[in-house]
Chain A
Amino acid sequence: MSEHREAHEAGKRDAQPLAEAPPKEVQRAQEERLLKIWETPGGWRYWSSVNNSDIGVWYTATAFVFFLFAGVLALLMRIQLAVPDNDFLSAEVYNQAFTVHGSVMMFLFAIPIFEAIAVLLLPQMLGARDLPFPRLSAFGFWCYLLGGIFLCGAIFFDAAPRGGWFMYPPLTSKYQTDIGADIWLLGFSFIEVAAIAAAVEMIVGTLKCRPPGMRINLIPLYAWYVLVAASMMLFAFPPLITGSMLLEIERAFGWPFFDPAGGGDPLLWQHLFWLFGHPEVYVVFLPSVALIAMIVPTFSRTPIVGYGWVVLSAVGTGFLSFGLWVHHMFTTGLPGISLGLFSAASQAVAIPTGVQIFCFIATLAAGRVVRSVPMLFALGSLMIFVLGGLTGVMVALVPFDFQAHDSFFIVGHLHYVMIGGVIFPMLAGLYYFYPLFDGKKLSDRLGKIAFWLTFIGFNITFMPMHLAGLRGMPRRVFTYPADAGLNTLNLISTVGAFILAAGIAVVVWDVIRLKQKQPYSEMNPWGAGTLEWLQEMPGKPWGMRSIPEIDSCYPLWDQPNLQRDVDEGRFYLPDAEEGLRETLVTSVIDAVPQQCARLPGSSFIPMIAAFSLGGFFILGTYHWWWPAVSSLLLAVAVFCYWLWTGTARTPEKDEKYVGLGLTLPIYVSGPASISWWSVFITMLADLTAFISLVFGYFFFWTIHDDFPPQPSPGPGVFWPTLGGGMLLAAWALTVFARRWNRSGNSAAFYTGLLTSIVLAAAGSAALVAGPWLTGLDPKSHVYPATVWVLVLWTVCHVAVGIIMQLYCLARKLAGQMTARRDVEIVNVTLYWHFTALTAGITVAVIAGFPLVD
């Protein structure tokens, strides 16, 4: 606690003297202006809203519907398994059911609900008006909705994927040639791209959109967890996107990445998948624990004990989780030394996880605990999750995993972890945060009933599965024999599943029941200490009446009169004089105000962009190439329109007075701007995907005695080096163009950028010429396939880079980009830094490595 006190003292010294409250009529006029600009559009235009409080609700509701859908599939599976040799579901339907259940729970529920809740809560918690890129949130939501419907719909046409949620080839490459696997690969890639967009937004939101004074040691734990989880997504999702791309290329064009007949290896998929899959578990777990980290202090009536410990161990969990993936592959015949190392690493991750849990327990001890429904779910979560963690320690031990792996023991274990670590915290969070969105509380009575039904039902369902697994029941079986000692256990599980479902039904009823007669909740009904509870009941669309100066981790507890001062508009941005949506941008570490950022308002553009991009993936699934490519071109056009009309707008003045004696610039470029950060973070994810491809190249090198196969047919040294040289020159000219623009030398800017475009195009052609002229046939062997895919990856990036350069030229010509207002060329240069790196690595690998090998 003392660190908070110290921070508290330090913060006090920094705080600006507070202004007098403006007169009441001025306050009312301010409120009217704020309300007008932040108002949610009515009628059918409601769906053009981009406000986080609307998007967040749609997002959460959609995720919950997918959760119920996947839950119904689970019930169908439990009916099938209730008795041995059952024929309630056919094998084919059952196999689709468990594939869709797992995939939907992971990709359409666990990840999106974390993003949905973050979209809802993060701005409120950080005292921001909205997330930094509201239209990007909307875009992410529409992608998610479209992709989700596409994926779930497939099961009604008996066309759903049936490869299991980890889609191991060769089953999913050569042996399931129907459309199901394509739906999985393309549909989820589409959703993952949207999920990365959301992650970028969350990272930038947490780093750059905090209230003044909220230094890095005062960030609410929820935001810390979101920051960690979103950062993990940047590095966890790209390997899967790369893997999906390779598998789809193998399926569609026969490039043998995973086919041993062509030198490929099915294990590469497992590495790429679990490089994603294991961190993924923590990506969904950490933001859920984050809810507990908010709930426990509130009901203990005391700040969290061990704030620094929690943050460090959350970060530590994030790092460690990238070193565990092999524990999903203990039975693939890897050498004993690898098994031992990954076994130890898997055990080690229990330690930071444990530290977080014990910090919560210490918080309970430090305070006087108030009984409540959220607390009930939080404690239930603890009981379940700790057990799931302990069985996790068991399966992390290689010898035991030899028995438990791929058996129902794992099914039991993973549901203890996921339901204990994700669903129960979510339900706790639902009961806790619900008043923020509806202005009304959920029912205590129904909450308790729901808790006991879900808690008891859960344990009855999943506890027997551990035993069933050890009695030799493999996972993913549509039936089991009557003589194996599995009948009673399975029947119990099925009964439990329905009790669990009844508990969920009570929650659903509690949420959807009409609450017209129920009075609005009082403000801050739980007596919490964090900023989101400044909200009136019911809430206003503007998020914060004025953006406060913060000097505590629990400002509502520690800063007297905060509520009054915020509501009277004594803090920053109390008004919307220009009729524009605005929020503060602050510095990363100390949250010093840097910019008054203008945010875009309601628009259908994100929806149109999402649907046209989705069209590319969905039409591509059916191999309708021309419509697919048309849809992609449409998407590019829509994105350009979106960028042109909605971003980097020229402000009417350079600076704006934001209150408390502070004047901030409106237009910022470079590392101080949120757009620079978003490009940087996106490109980190992109680079990770590329590194995964390079990993593939060296993976094949390790498993083959001769890689490249001798005599090496290509791509030679000359063409790749020539191409790489021209691309580097194109990059250098882009860097110079940025300088020339800033120094006002327009002629040099135009000449430089045009030359760069020509060089980029020529460089790409030269890069392609390497494998092309040496006759590398990507279908013949995995070596040419890998070379080609590296080359094509680079060429695609250069193509996007050229579009960006043309965009800069157009902006300059139109007078939108000037020497001082140069966000476009600054961000495009940043993109080109990464593209140059990609090109350099590609050339070094395909032309250089065969020379030294």
Chain B
Amino acid sequence: MTHHLRELCRGIEPPSQRDSGAKRAEVALPGSAVALLPDGHSRIQSALNPAGVEAAGIENLFWWMVAGTTVVWLGVMALTWHSVRTHPESFNRRREAFIIVGCGAILPTVVLSILLVFGLSALPGLVAPAPSGSLKVVVSGEMWWWRVRYEPAEGQPIILANEIHLPVGEPVQFLLESDNVIHSFWIPSLAGKMDLIPGRTTRLAVTPTKTGLFRGVCAEYCGTSHALMKFDVVVEEKEEFNRWLAHQATPAAPPDNPLAQRGEKQFLANGCGACHTVRGTNAAGVVGPDLTHLGSRLSIAAASWPNDSAHLRRWIADSDKIKPGAYMPKFDMLRSDDVNAMAVYLKGLK
């Protein structure tokens, strides 16, 4: 498991001093042995564990509102309790006016006005686009995974899937699209959500402030496997990010061992390339996720499963079982050693 974790967390900053215990749990990944960890410590996709400017602002607002809500609720309950206990003799028009006009009309008007000013003052910052020149990432919602396209200032766009790396401390502009159904892009630890609507491009600006591993989810019900439409988000230092992106831009390295070479043959022979792209090979399909550097990813099946050979084998042979309704046919007619070879090949696409 140690090896597993280290491998998966490659390139991730060590957890900060403040809550290292919690962070250690956070870097754990779906489906692995971390199910044994007490779940209270794991806040990999929590809006209450902010790691971005936007999420931190909203969290702050939330706690203020929780405090206000508690006070108001207790106040109303106390007044009710008092009203139930009190004797009718003590009731008069002044008290009537106090309760109905004072508590019912004036007080809420004042409180809500303050809240509105306080709360909406944060809104322009949340809906404003990132400064020009910011990193631009186009995310397309698919059924049920995420197509990710980095558009660097110079050079070709880089098409990836289901994993987003971001440099810490820099604003990034997400452009959100869908050509199928409506999805919603949500990384709770970094910012609020934004819908992906066919026929439109929506925008979301995010500024991560802490390094670490986070998870994004689809928040808008989008069909059968909506629950399994997730993605990994890695926030890292700028240099590491640049290294990662530069590597992702390169074509896949040819397989270097016989088993992987057999896997590549099988991959191409079984028509996988009709849907998937592995840059540097004949596989250039655009229906499914790009697999050029699949081996380097933290997880498979839109962050639903750990990225290891066992799960890759199961995914190839029985995709529908892992992700109900998935468009990828299951290749259970293949010989298991062929499937194994393909898994080894894919895992080797670092």
A positions within 8 Å CB-CB of B: 84-85, 90-92, 95, 163-164, 168, 170-171, 175-176, 260, 264-267, 302, 305-306, 309, 331-333, 336, 339-340, 343-344, 347-348, 350-351, 354-359, 361-362, 364-369, 379, 382-383, 386-387, 390-391, 393-394, 397-403, 405-407, 470-472, 474-488
Contact = CB atoms under 8 A, between A and B. Distances in A.
Contact of B123 (A399, A405, A488): A399
A481 B301 CA distance: 13
A244 B54 CA distance: 37
A382 B45 CA distance: 34
Q: Which of A164, A369, A405, A471 has the most CB of B within 10 A?
A: A471
B4 interface: no
B120 A350 contact: no
A175 B80 contact: no
B198 A365 contact: no
B87 A266 contact: no
Contacts of A90: 324
Interface string B73-89: 10011011011101110
A405 B45 CA distance: 15
Interface in B280-330: 304, 324-325
A485 B221 contact: no
Given A170-B198, A400-B62, A484-B42, A358 B221 contact: no
B109 A351 contact: yes
A223 to B, nearest CB: 21
Given A364-B83, A391-B69, A482-B30, 20 more contacts: A91-B224, A266-B182, A331-B184, A336-B124, A339-B127, A340-B123, A347-B115, A358-B99, A366-B91, A367-B88, A382-B80, A399-B120, A403-B58, A405-B192, A471-B43, A471-B47, A474-B186, A482-B31, A483-B32, A483-B34
Interface in B206-253: 215, 217-228, 230
Contacts of B193: 331, 402-403, 405-406
B197 interface: yes
A128 to B, nearest CB: 31
B24 interface: no
A394 B46 contact: no
B37 A483 contact: yes
Sorted from nearest, which 9 A-B pairs have the closest CB atoms? A402-B192, A260-B199, A472-B45, A358-B104, A477-B227, A333-B202, A365-B83, A482-B35, A91-B324
A485 B35 contact: no
Contacts of A343: 116, 119-120, 123
A650 B54 CA distance: 73
A92 B120 contact: no
B43 A362 contact: no
Nearest to B76: A386
B104 A354 contact: yes
B58 to A, nearest CB: 5
11 contacts: A170-B180, A351-B112, A358-B100, A362-B83, A368-B87, A398-B123, A407-B219, A472-B45, A478-B226, A484-B46, A485-B41
B100 A359 contact: yes
Contacts of B83: 361-362, 364-365
A379 to B, nearest CB: 7
Contacts of A484: 39, 42-46, 215
A168 B182 contact: yes
A480 to B, nearest CB: 7
Nearest to B38: A488
Contacts of B39: 482-488
Contacts of A351: 104-105, 108-109, 112
Nearest to B217: A474
Given A347-B116, A350-B108, A471 B188 contact: yes
B203 to A, nearest CB: 7
B325 A402 contact: no
B88 A470 contact: no
A176 B224 CA distance: 10
Contacts of A336: 123-124, 127
Contacts of A333: 194-195, 197, 200, 202-203
B95 A483 contact: no
B57 interface: yes
B275 interface: no
B180 A175 contact: yes
Contact of A402 (B126, B180, B324): B126
A332 B96 contact: no
Given A168-B182, A339-B123, A368-B88, A472 B104 contact: no
Nearest to A91: B324
Interface of B: 25, 28-32, 34-35, 37, 39-48, 54-55, 57-58, 61-62, 65, 69, 72-73, 76-77, 79-80, 82-84, 86-88, 91, 95-96, 99-100, 103-105, 108-109, 112, 115-116, 119-120, 122-124, 126-127, 143, 180-182, 184, 186, 188-189, 191-195, 197-200, 202-203, 215, 217-228, 230, 304, 324-325
B126 A354 contact: no
Contacts of A339: 123, 127
A483 B87 CA distance: 54
B81 to A, nearest CB: 9
A359 B43 contact: no
A486 B184 CA distance: 20
Contacts of B88: 302, 365-368
Contacts of B184: 331, 405-406, 474
Contacts of B143: 175
A400 B80 contact: no
Nearest to B112: A347
Nearest to B113: A347
B195 A403 contact: no
Contacts of A340: 120, 123
Nearest to B93: A2
A344 B120 CA distance: 9
A487 B36 CA distance: 11
A402 B115 contact: no
Contacts of B86: 365
B181 A170 contact: yes
B119 A397 contact: yes
B192 A472 contact: no
A356 B99 CA distance: 11
Nearest to B305: A481
Given A175-B181, A399-B122, A361 B79 contact: yes
Contacts of B69: 387, 390-391, 393-394
Contact of A84 (B35, B197, B200, B202): B35
A170 B196 CA distance: 12
Contacts of A359: 99-100, 104
B215 to A, nearest CB: 7
